[in-house]
Structure 1
Amino acid sequence: MVLNFFPSRALALYVGKTFFWRCLAMLAMLVLVLQMLDLLSEAGDVLAYPGNGDAELWRYVSLRMPQLISRFLPFAVLLGTLVTLTTLNANSEVVSMKAAGLSAHQVLAPLMLVSAVIAAGSFVFNERIVARSTATMSAWEAAEYGPIPSDSGVKANIWVRDGQDLIRAGQISGWGNRVTLKDITIYDRRANTLISIIQAPSGRYVGPGWQLENARQFDVTRGTYRTIGTMRFGDTVRPDQFTLSSVDPDGLSFRTLREAISALRSAGRPVAALEGAFWHKISGPLSALLMPLLGSVAAFGLARSGKLFVRAVIAMALGFTYFVVDNFSLSMGDLGVYPPLIAAWAPFLLFLLVGETVLITTEE
């Protein structure tokens, strides 16, 4: 089967290397332009924090660039496919391959193999780098580009309700019964009226309930402060109400997100939107496999017919339509209209069939 798809090792290497380097060039071009535009729009906010300078701008670039690479890698593969296939067709190299007895699938086989490698690399890149940079960027933005803990698992500015009382934690770290809180504010309310405000620099879960250290209370009626010191509160407040109250799937790895979904499901929370994002962590990188199929319109058909440009435009339209449908499907999954599996996988399977149909139809 492998020999059938790659009858010529030299030809496969030539087409595969050409495709890979052009994808890399397109990705570099896209990321460079988009990073410059993004930096121009955000540099003012980064420098607005006292003490920030060139080092913080470079830090912003180092955190944003992995996100741009992950997001626009499929676009780069699509553009690389179009440039590669259009050039091969214009130089009559596709005609030579078909004259030598290669089928349409054999012509595209090197591109599919390179796309599979790119998809696997994209998944690993997302797991190892993008998830961490996204979590750190979110925490940095929440701190208005000021100092934040280096722990990427730290969450910021979480609100939890305890009966009528409202609890705000400025920073949350740890999981399970080892959750610790910092910059805590408790709004003590009775009959929808604010009675007092309790503030503490730190607290931890002692099960059941939470223990605050160096707490102070402000009496709203009297307008006076008093020092409480160590106190207990929130016997019915669980640690997962803080740690799972704002789960960002983009900032979690595949395994961590699966654990968060399991914990949320056990707590009786809705997880449909997170399950869609969970499966999209696989189907998203696999979209690179579709690009050679969707771009195959530009490869077949005689260049001298004068329709090569039209074929390239059609291939680009198919590729961009996939991204539109994919985002629409994910949005429908977030709203609960589509089941998570369908929201994540339906666009991929649909355009896989579309690509195969277009390939077979336009081969001659």
Structure 2
Amino acid sequence: MTALDRYIARLIAVPLISTLIISAMLLVLDRMLRLFDFVASEGGPVSVVWRMLANLLPEYLGLGIPIGLMLGILLAFRRLATTSELDVLRAVGMSYGRMLRVPYMYAVVLAALNLAIVGYIQPYARYNYEGLRFELRTGALGASIKVGEFTNLGDRMTLRIEESRKEGTDLSGIFVSARAPGGDIVSATAEKGQFLRTDDPDVIIFRLTKGTLIHQSPKFNVPRVLTFDAHDLPIDLPRFEQFRQRGERNLELTLPELARIGGDPKASETDRDTSRSAFHFRVVEVATMFLLPLLALALGVPPKRSTSALGVFLSIVMIVTYHKINEYAQSIGSLGRIDPLIALWAPFLVFAGLVLWMYYTIAYVPGGQPIGALERVFAKAWKAIAKRLPGRRRRAASA
């Protein structure tokens, strides 16, 4: 690798990594607030939020990696152009194709990473995320016991806790009432309590500290009252519904599994269409990454004597719009209205043709600028807006 390649690699690395971190943080923060509300409403521990976000991270990276690659290459070439370094490289005979060597190294590595994420990692992460949601709803994560409310554990026990600290390991203000099969009723109040595991996975021990126990039975004329410093109360855990198997949704299937179902003649037509659509959607998204270096170059080099950032804005609009078109095409293909092969790859060919034309214009047409007309319209519109600004009018009057 030459000094030029290392220089371009450094120019790309900083905005690429920054974009990945910022995009992931924005998406995580947006989902984090909703997850906190969901977990709080279900009464689950706060720690489960971080586990759910970790399982959503591969899904966010599937979109963040292409955007990061695009902006990293675009901003690198924009810097070369605005500092006149690009003119020097072109003057000494350096072609755009030669300068795209390092960007395509990034594209190949990140495309392989993205293929691994969307093809293998994301399906398992999505399944784990849905499993955590299921466990929260059913109470399998301890969400069934809510502070300040009477909670039924099975058919024979009622529990109320006034306060919970340290992720539920330090409980206070406890009331518990349990019924035995013979008609006995045991009620207890305690200052503090703690759940302890046992060797039996279906039974836990509720250790009560400093409380009073009342034992009522048909055999007793008068209920027995006992004060205690410590008392262990066994609790039979309720039976929870088992979570479904992985694969009932296409998001939870890997690429080989989607290909197998899509080509299985024994599968229903709906299953084949949805599996094929999901398969082609993921492959198209990865294949698009090999077009991004060409698009980034075409949009990153502004016209001569211009520092407009229109190309940066347009690049984000184009890649997000194309992603949404692919999502719509996947939906149409899943419904069976259009063959998924045509629904997903036809927009890809149109997008590829547009990108190749833009690259050809800037690389091989003398003075060519693929968005030159948009740059001129943008410049005129900005001048018209600037003239109407109050501060601009005051400066003109004073002059």
Query: 313-322 vs 123-132, which deviates more?
Result: 313-322
Amino acid at match of 1:141: R
Could you report, residue by residue, the CA deviation over 1:293-348 in whole angstroms, capped at 9, with x for unpaired residues?
222233335452x2532343344443333223322322322232321112232232
Structure with greater Cα Rg: 2
Q: Using a 3 Å threshold, how does the CA distance of structure 1 residues 100 and 338 change in structure 2: closer, same or farther?
A: farther
Identity %: 20
In the TM superposition, what is the alpha-carbon distance from 1:96 to its structure 2 partner?
A: 1.9
Amino acid at match of 1:310: L
Distance 1:247 1:57 in 2: 24
Contact 1:294 1:319 in 2 (8 A): no
Partner of 2:389: none
Residue number among 91, 96, 99 corresponding to 1:104 in the alignment = 96
Partner of 1:48: 41
Contact 1:297 1:315 in 2 (8 A): no
In the TM superposition, what is the alpha-carbon distance from 1:69 to its structure 2 partner?
A: 1.3
Identify which of structures 1 and 2 has the higher relative contact order when contacts are C-alpha pairs closer than 8 Å and 6+ apart. 1
Amino acid at match of 2:295: L
Kindly report which structure 2 residues correspond to 1:28-177, keeping only aligned pairs within 5 A, or say none: 28-50=21-43, 52-146=44-138
| Equivalent position SS for 1:266 | coil
Distance 1:53 1:257 in 2: 35
Query: 310-319 vs 107-116, which deviates more?
Result: 310-319
Amino acid at match of 1:140: L
Could you report, residue by residue, the CA deviation over 1:233-265 in whole angstroms, capped at 9, with x for unpaired residues?
xxxxxxxxx979x732221111222233345x3
Work out whether 1:324 is the aligned partner of 2:317: no
Distance 1:45 1:334 in 2: 30
Distance 1:342 1:148 in 2: 44
Distance 2:14 2:56 in 1: 23
Q: Using a 3 Å threshold, how does the CA distance of structure 1 residues 355 and 44 change in structure 2: closer, same or farther?
A: same
In the TM superposition, what is the alpha-carbon distance from 1:146 to its structure 2 partner?
A: 4.8
| Equivalent position SS for 1:275 | helix
Distance 1:47 1:278 in 2: 36
Partner of 1:288: 289
Contact 1:82 1:298 in 2 (8 A): yes
Q: Show structure 1 runs of 5+ residues with no match.
A: 1-7, 150-241
Partner of 2:299: 298
Contact 2:115 2:286 in 1 (8 A): yes
| Equivalent position SS for 2:256 | helix
Query: 84-93 vs 116-125, which deviates more?
Result: 84-93
| Equivalent position SS for 2:269 | coil
Contact 2:78 2:301 in 1 (8 A): no
Contact 2:281 2:327 in 1 (8 A): no
Q: CA RMSD in A?
A: 2.6
Kindly report which structure 2 residues correspond to 1:346-361, keeping only aligned pairs within 5 A, or say none: 346-361=346-361
Distance 2:120 2:56 in 1: 15
Amino acid at match of 1:85: F
Q: Using a 3 Å threshold, how does the CA distance of structure 1 residues 286 and 147 change in structure 2: closer, same or farther?
A: farther
Distance 1:33 1:268 in 2: 39
In the TM superposition, what is the alpha-carbon distance from 1:28 to its structure 2 partner?
A: 0.6
In the TM superposition, what is the alpha-carbon distance from 1:46 to its structure 2 partner?
A: 1.7
Amino acid at match of 1:331: S
| Equivalent position SS for 2:289 | helix
Contact 2:123 2:253 in 1 (8 A): yes
Q: Show structure 2 runs of 5+ residues with no match.
A: 142-243, 368-399
Partner of 1:279: 280
How many residues are aligned here? 261
Runs of 4+ in structure 1 deviating by more than 6 angstroms, as ranges, are none
Q: Using a 3 Å threshold, how does the CA distance of structure 1 residues 89 and 316 change in structure 2: closer, same or farther?
A: farther
Amino acid at match of 2:13: F
TM-score (norm 2): 0.59
Work out whether 1:252 is the aligned partner of 2:253: yes
In the TM superposition, what is the alpha-carbon distance from 1:87 to its structure 2 partner?
A: 1.7
Amino acid at match of 2:286: P
TM-score (norm 1): 0.64
Contact 2:73 2:296 in 1 (8 A): yes
Amino acid at match of 2:41: A
